[in-house]
Amino acid sequence: MPELPEVETVRRGLLPALEGARITTASVNRPDLRWPFPDRMADRLTGARVTALRRRSKYILADLDTGETLLIHLGMSGRMTVSGDPLGRFHHTHPTPAKHDHVVFDTDTGARITFNDARRFGAMDLLDTDTQDEHWLLRDLGPEPLGNSFNEAHLIAAFAGKRSPVKSALLDQRIVAGLGNIYVCEALYRAGISPLRHAARIAPGRVARLVPIIRDVLAEAIEAGGSSLRDHRQADGELGYFQHTFLVYGREGQPCQTPACAEKIRRKVQSGRSSFYCAACQR
């Protein structure tokens, strides 16, 4: 499932084609994805202008001049691609509609934004913009890891007394929003912290140093266009490239990248997810 860097990459790709544009036609080609689309979604979107295109955790949020906000979740296989953008950043011709093109937006700039989702685990909803933070998908989210609210004091306080493994704590969206399995594994390796260690047993100084490491991992991944392991594509259809620089994720049995370390990367399943780590370098 796409994590923060992949969603942010898609948002940035959509930005020049969608923000400020008016949706002249919204086509909704099925009644649902992961759950039913909101009532009359196509009618409510047609004619609306996108005033801002934002991201919250793993959700893309398009604020509309109608007072509503379109929430988009890519799910496991969802892609949003742009064609016909007059700015010349994408293909100039619209592709032939594909089998899993479930939602399509045509805009007054000539751009077309297509949401394709083969597995249909994605989702869209329309929220009241003024009360969107009360929506059940958004109301319990913690601070954004790239924002000022995610800092050393916050993470130290969140870990205090927490008996769960640090890997599970960092995946808890109430503690920090948007982190997923890939980038938690990579950040913990860089920090030298075992994913098996209980969060409360990590010294405050080590917890504090984890904050800038998380920021660096996410920033590097966004710069690389995210990680394309199975389905992720950028808005122009290109793959992300961060997977080529993984230090531990998916590298079970391969040598640790730390110089002079003779260990091989291990994998352990935690709460149904694979943790990759070096037992020698991470304690």
Active site residues: 2-3, 58, 273
Contact 130/69 with Cβ under 8 angstroms? Answer: no
Q: How far apart are CA 5 and CA 57, in angstroms?
A: 10
**DSSP assignments along 164-195, one per residue:** SBHHHHHH-TTTSSS--HHHHHHHHHHHT--T
Cβ neighbors of 124 (< 8 A, separation 6 or more) are 33, 37, 38, 41, 70, 71, 72, 73, 103, 115
Phi then psi dihedrals of residue 49, to 5 deg = -100, 135
For 59, the 3-state DSSP assignment is strand
